[in-house]
Amino acid sequence: MGTTETYRVMRQDDNGNRFLVAKGLTRPAAESMAAEFEARGHKQLYWVESDGQ
């Protein structure tokens, strides 16, 4: 049985603090979530990375 890689959405605020927004997502779901936050005009940086599982 193969394993499916999961992804998480991370956020960095203006002070350089990093926060986990969501985890355990498929890459398309994570990319969509990050894009939605970016589109809302939040002033933080959002990105997608592997959960490493």
Q: Record the tokens describing residue 47, joined without a space.
A: 């990105």
53 touches 5 (CB < 8 A): yes
Residue 2 falls within a domain, yes or no?
A: no
Round to whole Å and give the CA distance between 14 and 28. Answer: 26
- pLDDT per position as a tens digit, 14-47: 899 999 999 999 999 999 999 998 888 767 899 9
Residue 12 falls within a domain, yes or no?
A: yes
The reported pTM is 0.83
How many domains does the chain fold into?
1
- pLDDT per position as a tens digit, 1-17: 556 899 999 999 889 99
Instruction: State the residue range of the domain holding 39.
Output: 7-50
Residue 6 neighbours by CB under 8 Å, 6+ apart? 23, 24, 25, 26, 50, 51, 53
Residue 46 falls within a domain, yes or no?
A: yes
